[in-house]
Copies of this chain bind each other. A is one copy, B any other.
Amino acid sequence: MTQELVSTKAVITPQEMLDHWQGHRKLTRRVIEAFPEKDLFNFSVAGMRPFSELALEMISMGMPGIDGILTGKWSTDFSFYENGKGPQTKAELLALWDELTEKLNRLWPQIPIERFHEVDLAFGRWEGTIQFTLFYFVDNEIHHRGQGYVYLRALGIEPPPFWDRA
């Protein structure tokens, strides 16, 4: 069944789910932008990871994750960002962010609707339906972005409004 034939008699359609994810990613991108360059890579509260590392964790899930969702092949090669190979500047981080934005838009429409309920072993480790794994990616982003809001407040910076996903 192609996505075009999917009824809107659903909690959320594939197109809405993509819009939902990308809407959250637009907001997270604004949170990255809101950090002063040095604080993005160095500042945190209570000994937690700086926001650059939290954002990189989101990318490290989504970038190979969308391939896994589509194909069932889960890459655990994180060399694109591990061992100091990750972005060293805000501009580099945003470029990687935008690369994933484009990748999601390109691959998402190819996911067969049945795929969302297939059980798979995400990254060879975490068993669950694809919808479960997908919401894990999105929710993990919301969770860590919420922490970024506290970092920004602690820096005296007004975070972008949570309700704005445009």
Contacts and interface: CB of A to CB of B under 8 A. Distances in A.
A12 B140 contact: no
Interface string A130-157: 0100111001101111110110011000
Interface stretch (A45-53, A71-79, A80-88, A93-101): A45-53
A59 to B, nearest CB: 18
For the residues of A in contact with B, the DSSP-based class is helix
A166 interface: no
Nearest to A142: B142
A13 B154 CA distance: 40
Interface stretch (A34-42, A60-68, A112-120): A112-120
A104 to B, nearest CB: 15
Which among A11, A14, A45, A163 has the greatest number of chain B C-beta atoms within 10 A? A11
Interface size class, chain A = 35 or more
B153 A46 contact: yes
Which among A7, A10, A47 has the greatest number of chain B C-beta atoms within 10 A? A10
Interface of A: 1, 6-14, 16-17, 20, 24, 45-48, 113-114, 116-117, 131, 134-136, 139-140, 142-147, 149-150, 153-154, 162-163
Listed from nearest, the 3 A-B pairs whose CB atoms lie closest are A146-B146, A46-B153, A46-B154
Given A20-B135, A143-B149, 19 more contacts: A1-B9, A6-B9, A7-B7, A10-B12, A10-B113, A11-B11, A11-B17, A11-B134, A12-B135, A24-B139, A45-B46, A45-B154, A46-B150, A46-B153, A46-B154, A47-B153, A140-B162, A143-B143, A146-B146
